[in-house]
Amino acid sequence: MISWVLRAVALGALVVGLRTALGFGMVHWPTHGAWMRLLCLVVLLAAVLAWGVLDGRRDRIAHGDPERGADLTILWLKAAVAGGLGSGAVAWILDFLPKIDLGDNGLLFELTAGASFIILLIFIPALIGVGIGRRLAGRKSGGDSTSHLSHGLPAAA
């Protein structure tokens, strides 16, 4: 349980921090908004992808058999949902503070459309990273774990 909570809190805090920095930047340098949005998106995607790669490598090293690995899909789904909803709620609360501009979105928007976008931004790159990490760890451990399929050889029981 701790692993998905850690991911949710860390990535939710990253989202809130990036949104706060973006809001500050948009107030002071409004003509550079497109570049700032792109930079925030790249930072979030890179963090999620890197964490997913680490999870995938760690899982493949711990479980050499691809059929026996941990269920990282549900772990990352829980982390994404909690991170998306939590960051939306915190951003809505922070928007009431003076000098912090986060877009003046309502609570309903933050917990539905805003949260669903953040959930997808966390979940999909994380699973891509898990796949990459498992693939990289499979190659380092003496070959691809699916190589028996490409050679037409039966899998070892």
Q: Where are the domains of the chain?
A: 2-139
Beta strands in the chain (DSSP E): none
Q: Is the pLDDT of residue 142 over 90?
A: no
**122-136: string of b/e by CB count within 10 Å (b at 16+)?**
bbbbbbbbbeebbbe
Residue 70: what pLDDT?
Answer: 81
Question: What is the reported pTM?
Answer: 0.82
Can you give the pLDDT at residue 94?
Answer: 93
| 100 CB-contact burial (10 Å; exposed 0-12 / middle 13-18 / buried 19+) | middle
